[in-house]
Structure 1
Amino acid sequence: MIQKIRVNDARFPLAKGAGSDAIHRDPIYSYAVTSLIDDSGIVGTGFAFTLGEGNDLVCKAAEFYAMQLKGRDIEELMADFGSVFNQLSNEQQFRWLGPHKGIVHLALASVTNACYDLWAKKRGLPLWKLLNDLSAEEVVSTLDLSYLEDELTAGQAIHLLKENLAGKDKRERILQTGYPGYDTSIGWFNYSDEKVRENCKKAIAEGFTAMKLKVGSTDPERDIRRSHIVREEAGDSVKVMLDANQQWTLPQALKICKELQGMNPYWIEEPTHPDDILAHKVLADAIAPTKLALGEHVPNRIIFKNYLQTGSAGFIQADAVRVGGVSEFITISLLCRKYGIPVVPHVGDMGQLHQHLVLFNHISMGHEALFLEHIPHLQQHFVHPVKVTGGVYQTPMEPGSSCDLKSLN
């Protein structure tokens, strides 16, 4: 039974230039951390990701949600978590502040993720194993499929999971080989050209076969020059992604994306405003076969549904510490599986939680094990930091979701 609730505002300043992009020039990586403590002393840890200011507001909202779980048994909660999620996300007064987006939805992510961590720790299992051991019916009972009935009913979701039982044993081999990563830290926006070149060489030496560069400069020539630096250092066999972090208007994006196609990007990420689905559709059609990657700032499953329906996303980057937590992440992954679109999460968690979720996506859902973003900046702050060797995530074996922070233990 959940006896105590604790919510902490954890902020971590970064080294100069680290984490910078075209819009967010001076981030402070921050977590609104929910701790759910049960009567046996087990602590379930979950968090949502922010860039500093406003993190305290997310904490305040998380307290509101978490208090509603006090006195509840975690097994009882998770047996029908889809209903719990639906009730919390539609609490009449808090819903007005969203609905299903912004501060209140980030807060729900923090609490939801703490529930999944407590559930896994209570069972003594790493989260990836707990999820992969569930039946299709048990998985779907943890999901809120409301507003998706036109695309994905509970029955259809169960059928999809059962369809993908074939080959599950073979896909479990990834537990031994590890899940491929890509280096997103080679080209933060504020890094000099020289540092970008140096970081590319380092990433290649460390075994990465994919990497990402931040673009969106006032002068497009800077983006073009830097993208060609990365391609030159990486060679043609390495996947190079470009990330504009919403900087361009549609007319700007149409012009610069066509120019950037010259260096053969694997994808172009967040080219314009994340709410402008139709602009992404226009752009996707204009620059085909180059694909768009979307989702870092897409707040909920309904907007993801619309992106999939319009065919404007080549890769979906749902983030369980930015949408409503693990439950909504799995829901979005199921939608993507129906549409045959890869899920390559944005990792506001620095990969700690998502290393579990991509293993579930691959093993139980049949998603391609493409790669997972790797950002090393906060490793020293985690009790069980991710282990990336030779550009590959090593399978975590400790119980839970790997989200415990040293400062809170």
Structure 2
Amino acid sequence: MIKNIRISDRRFPIGKGAGSDAIHRDPIYSYAVTQLIDDSGLTGTGFAFTLGEGNDLVCKAAQFYAEQLKGKDIEELMAAFGTLFNQLSNEQQFRWLGPHKGVVHLALASVTNACYDLWAKKRGVPLWKLLIDLSPEQIVNTLDLSYLEDELTREQAIKLLKDNYAGKTNRMPVIATGYPGYDTSIGWFNYSDEKVRENCKKAVANGFTAMKLKVGSAEAERDIRRAHIVREVAGDDIRVMLDANQQWTLPQAISICKRLQSMNPYWIEEPTHPDDVLAHKTLAEAIAPTKLALGEHVPNRIIFKNYLQTGSAGFIQVDAVRVGGVSEFITISLLCRKYNIPVVPHVGDMGQLHQHLVLFNHIVLGHEALFLEHIPHLQQYFTHPVVIENGFYITPMEAGSSCDLKQMD
């Protein structure tokens, strides 16, 4: 049973210009870390991602949630985790601070992810292995489907899983081949044009077949110039994505996105405010067939449901350290499977946890093994950092979710 808990505020300054985008110019990559220690000595580690200030507030909220798990057996918790998730996310006083978003939901993600890590370690398997071996009913028991009944009932979720289980065996080779990655670090916002050019060359040399550039400059000409630099260096066969990090108003987005279409972007990401579902619907229709990628700052399954219902998103970028953790991530992946919309997670964990979840998405749900974002800036701090070879994530084999950090305080 869970005997002790430990909450840690971990902050990691990164290199000059790294991590910068149109909104977040000087980030400090940070984790609000939850550790659940059981009576056998195993430690489950989970976290939520922030950019520095406020990380302590997430830690304080995580402490509140984690305290309620003391004395509980992890297998018993996970057998009906969807019920527990519903109870914690709707705790009356904390719910007022959300609901299901902001500091309290990030804190729930940290605790939820620690539960999944401890569960996998208790069984002695990587998280991806634990998840792909669960029955449809066991998976759905870990989910909270409330507020989704108009789109996905428990019975429909189980049927969707069963319908896709038939192809599991045919999708297992991804374990050996590895999961494709894409390079986000070629074009951080504060990087010079020349650095972007050199980074593109390195990414291609390292085997990446997709890469992403930050846009959203005050002068649209800068975005257009840099986007064409990436296309020129990468060539026509490389997928190039553009990410505005919510910088534009809708009129600005329509104007600049139409101009950016000349370099054939694979998607345009977060063009305007993440809560404005109807603005994204309008933009998606205006720039079709160019697709939008949405989700880095979408906090919960209900808003993702709205994006899917309106046909606004060509790609969903749900992040398990942004929504309520692994449980809500799987719920949203199920919704996306119903709509046949690809899930390409944002990796607020730098790919550590999500390398497990995309394997589950592909093998169990039948999502296309498209690619997973790769950001290397915190690799040195992990006990088992992700391994990328020739542009592919090599499948992790250690027990757990790959979220253990070195030198925990």
> Alignment partner of 1:164: what SS?
helix
Amino acid paired to 1:249: T
The 5-angstrom pairing of residues 16-95 of structure 1 reads: 16-95=16-95
Amino acid paired to 1:129: K
The equivalent residue for 1:6 is: 6
> Alignment partner of 1:208: what SS?
coil
The equivalent residue for 2:204 is: 204
The 5-angstrom pairing of residues 330-341 of structure 1 reads: 330-341=330-341
Superposed CA offset, 1:328-357 (max 9, x none): 000000000000000000000000000000
- Identity across aligned pairs (percent)? 83
The equivalent residue for 2:242 is: 242
Distance 1:172 1:123 in 2: 20
The 5-angstrom pairing of residues 334-373 of structure 1 reads: 334-373=334-373
Residue 106 in structure 1 maps to residue 106 in structure 2 = yes
The equivalent residue for 2:215 is: 215
The 5-angstrom pairing of residues 228-239 of structure 1 reads: 228-239=228-239
Superposed CA offset, 1:275-306 (max 9, x none): 00000000000000000000000000000000
Shift of 1:407: 2.0
Distance 1:344 1:407 in 2: 31
> Alignment partner of 1:343: what SS?
coil
Distance 1:382 1:201 in 2: 27
Shift of 1:165: 1.1
Amino acid paired to 2:182: Y
Distance 1:126 1:5 in 2: 22
Distance 1:166 1:82 in 2: 25
Superposed CA offset, 1:214-262 (max 9, x none): 0000000000000000000000000000000000000000000000000
Shift of 1:52: 0.1
The 5-angstrom pairing of residues 148-163 of structure 1 reads: 148-163=148-163
Amino acid paired to 1:168: K
The 5-angstrom pairing of residues 119-198 of structure 1 reads: 119-198=119-198
Amino acid paired to 2:68: Q
Shift of 1:390: 0.1
The 5-angstrom pairing of residues 306-345 of structure 1 reads: 306-345=306-345
Residue 398 in structure 1 maps to residue 398 in structure 2 = yes
Amino acid paired to 1:285: E
Amino acid paired to 1:131: L
Distance 2:155 2:382 in 1: 39
Shift of 1:8: 0.1
Shift of 1:167: 1.4
Distance 1:199 1:320 in 2: 28
Give the total of aligned pairs.
Answer: 409
Amino acid paired to 2:257: C
The 5-angstrom pairing of residues 219-298 of structure 1 reads: 219-298=219-298
Residue 302 in structure 1 maps to residue 309 in structure 2 = no
Distance 2:172 2:58 in 1: 37
Q: Which segments of structure 1 move beyond 6 Å, counting only runs of 4 or more?
A: none
Distance 2:118 2:336 in 1: 27
Distance 2:197 2:9 in 1: 36
Superposed CA offset, 1:119-176 (max 9, x none): 0000000000000000000000000000000000010000000000121101000000
Segments of 5+ residues of structure 1 without an aligned counterpart are none
* Aligned Cα root-mean-square deviation (Å): 0.5
Superposed CA offset, 1:359-390 (max 9, x none): 00000000000000000000000000000000
> Alignment partner of 1:10: what SS?
strand
Amino acid paired to 2:349: D
Amino acid paired to 2:338: K
> Alignment partner of 2:364: what SS?
helix
> Alignment partner of 1:242: what SS?
strand
Amino acid paired to 2:90: N
Distance 1:168 1:117 in 2: 23
Amino acid paired to 2:246: Q
Amino acid paired to 2:205: A
> Alignment partner of 2:165: what SS?
coil
> Alignment partner of 2:330: what SS?
helix
Amino acid paired to 1:254: I
